[in-house]
Structure formats: C-alpha cells, structure tokens
Amino acid sequence: MTAPSPNPTVTCHLCGSPDLELSVAYPSFHRVTSDCKAWAPGGGLARCRTCGLVQTTVSPAWSAEADRIYQSYTIYHQSGGTEQRVFDGRGGAGRPRSEQIIDALRQAERLPERGRLLDIGCGNGGFLSAWSRLIPGWTLAGTEFDAKYQREVESIPGFERLHFGEVKDIPGTFDVITLIHVLEHIPSPLGLLQQLRDKLNPGGLLLVEVPDCGQNVFMLLVADHCSHFSPPLLAGVVAASGLQVTQATNTWVTKEVSVVARRIDSPASCAAAGTSAIRLPAAESARVFAGERELARIVERVTPLLGRAQFGLFGTAIAATWLDAQTGGAARFFVDEDLNRTGKTHFGRPILAPQDVPCGAAVFVALPPVLSGPVSQRLRALGRDLEVVVP
C-alpha cells in the first residue's frame, strides 16, 4: 500500500519535489545497518513522482540515526574485517569483491599503466589495496570521515594521502575516481557527483558501485541508505551530473550495480550538469519501489518454519540479519559458504558451513532469486534431508 506524503517539508533529496509516494507498510519492518547489524523498525520508503528516485525519506530523524550507525560502524565484522567475497552462484570459495570489480573495469575500459586514483569513502582500504596489487604504478588517494583506518590505508603501496572534509578541497585532479558503496548513503547525490566531475581530468573515469535494489529487495531495508538504485536509475542520476555514461550493468558483481562514466567536456554535457529536470525511467522506478510488497511475502514464506527445532538462515549479510530480527531471533544457526565467516558467530549463534548443517534441519535461503536457486540446489545435494525454502 502507498499513500501521499503527509509532511510537505519532507522533499525528494534528488530534485527537491515534495510529491512523494510513501509506503504504508515499510515502517513496520525491522531494518538493518549497512554493516549488517539489526536496527529498529521505522523510517520511510518513498518514490518521487517528479523525478522517479526511490528513496528513504531524509529527515532530521534519519540523519540522527545514520550518525549513530556510523559512530559504531564495524566494517565486515562477520569476517574479522576481511573484505566480503562474491560468488557466481556455482559455489566455490568466491573472490574478493574489489578484485572482481577492477578486473571487470579493465575489460570494459582501457586504463593507462600509470595514473592517479581517488577512492571516496575508502574504509579500511580494501579497494585501494586491490588496485595497488593489480595495477601497480598508480598514485592512490582516499577520503574518509574519520581516521579510524588511517594506518592501514597509509601502508598500501603507492598511497599518497588520506583526505578528510570536503571533496572540493582535495588538491589536484584524477584519472579515475571511485565510489564503492558510497553514493547510496549520500543525501543530494547529484551535488556530490558534480563535485567529482570537476575533480576528473578530461577523459577521466568515474566508477560508481551500489546495491541493486531491483535485483535484491532486501537492500531497501538498510537504515543508513537514502537512495535505492537499479542500473537504469543509477545511470540516469550519473548522466544528470554532466558525465557520459559508458557502462551501466548488474553483471560485474551479483546483486550490485556498476556504472562507469567519462568526463567529456562538450556543450551537451555542460548543459546536462545541474539540470533540475531529471526524469528517471518511470516503469523501472515503480518496479523498484514495489519491492516493499515482496518483503511482506518473504515474511509469510519464512513464518511456517519458525517453530522447527533446527531452523537456520542461509547468509550472514543484510537479508539474513533482517529476517532474524523480523522473526524475533528465531534462527538457531546461520549458514554461509564464505570460509572467512564459517566457524564464527553471528549475533551469538554459530555460522555453519553447508556440510555442517544438522540433518533434517529447515533452512531458509535469505538471498534474492539470482542466487537462492543455485544455493538451494547445492544444499539439497548434500543429502542431509534438509527442508530448503527460498523466498
């Protein structure tokens, strides 16, 4: 169900329009932080009827919540700080996400042997470290809002400086600028993209990586995300900053959107920058917003399993964390194929490898359809008389 915005002071943080369509059901859902911790119900999910952006309503209350989340943020806590691995649905050990993205970028775009890269919101340096290892010879820089990981980042070969404060105050320009799971956190994303455009050398590349909310409805529940994208929606926002989009895909990393754009200084690109007439694809916008109805159906699917003596959730990321909170912590265990996570605990309960799941257990595969099908097949193939249920 949806309703018009009851508060005209809450406006779209992309175009400024007050014409927001709100989800009625969303505030009843538990939420999750972007570092995979349970968060209380609340907030608002909206779709701007003017520009089409699907968004969390940005208000003083949302900003206060986001600040609290970032103050206690623990990057990749399920694996002791090790970057998450990505899987192709066929099993195996997977590979670090940064390596996957960099290899895909090199196949799609011609990169020089030497250049200067800026990673916005570089965290503990996972992406910068992978770039230094795979493309040595580049000069690297990063930004963060605090110095928590400064020592780790500054130890990366080729690293130049960790910057704090405003993007516009960073000296010089860059050949590549990256935002790996950053833009979805930023109110007024167009303003940041325009600043980054000015920091690119002519012909330089911007790489934006965000969750694909069209492919993975669970990402609508992340409390500190304020924009929700799919490939066409993100491409439209990036193009509105005056950059020329060259890649917009969800094939580089499963469940994620990768957009690459180039700085081309032409009359057309300059005219596009700063426009207030953004119109994202309407049908795609409506499809992503409708994901909140799918969340209610997922809860209905998992409910019959809650009374089982051996009930577990497959996954230790956003989806499983949300379902565990939504069901009152009913899971006795979690299941994961990531060897960096198995053997540890998630909210005090064990993370099991698939082969260690108790015989006869019920396992709900808390993954979007692109992954849940292959995972469920592998679980059933173990021959442990498991009841495997997919969303």
> What CATH number did the domain enclosing 190 receive?
3.40.50.150
Same domain, 82 and 224: yes
Same domain, 124 and 267: yes
Rounded distance, CA 259 to CA 241, Å? 13
Residue 380 domain flag? yes
Neighbouring CB atoms inside 10 A of 361's CB total: 22
Average pLDDT over residues 112-123: 96
Residue 284 domain flag? yes
Q: Would you say residue 85 has pLDDT above 70?
A: no
Residue 127 near residue 119 (C-beta atoms within 8 A) = yes
What pLDDT shows up at residue 74? 81
What pLDDT shows up at residue 81? 46
Same domain, 140 and 278: yes
Residue 232 near residue 278 (C-beta atoms within 8 A) = no
Same domain, 149 and 58: no
Domain boundary at 71, 96, 112, which? 71
Same domain, 372 and 227: no
Same domain, 54 and 89: no
CA distances from 330 to 155, 309, 311, 387 (A): 42, 10, 7, 16
Same domain, 193 and 49: no
Residue 11 domain flag? yes
Q: Phi and psi at residue 317, in whole multiples of 5°?
A: -110, -145
Which 3 state secondary structure label does DSSP give 266? coil
The type of residue at 158 is G
Rounded distance, CA 43 to CA 29, Å? 9
DSSP 222: B
What pLDDT shows up at residue 115? 97
What pLDDT shows up at residue 79? 44
Domain membership of residue 226 as a residue range:
77-289
- Let me know how long the chain is: 391
Same domain, 162 and 237: yes
Give the domain CATH number at 381.
3.40.50.720
Domain boundary at 245, 266, 289, which? 289
**Number of helices followed by number of strands (H, E) in the chain:** 11, 22
Q: Would you say residue 109 has pLDDT above 70?
A: yes
**What is the tens place of the pLDDT at every residue in 203-251?**
999 999 999 999 999 999 999 999 999 999 999 999 999 999 999 999 9
Same domain, 205 and 281: yes
Rounded distance, CA 25 to CA 45, Å? 9
Same domain, 91 and 145: yes
Residue 282 domain flag? yes
Residue 63 near residue 223 (C-beta atoms within 8 A) = no
Which pLDDT band, with edges at 50, 70 and 90, does 265 fall under?
A: confident
As for how many domains the chain has, the answer is 3
Share of the chain above pLDDT 70, in %: 90
Domain boundary at 71, 98, 122, which? 71
Q: Would you say residue 379 has pLDDT above 50?
A: yes
Same domain, 63 and 128: no
Q: Would you say residue 80 has pLDDT above 70?
A: no
Q: Would you say residue 339 has pLDDT above 70?
A: yes
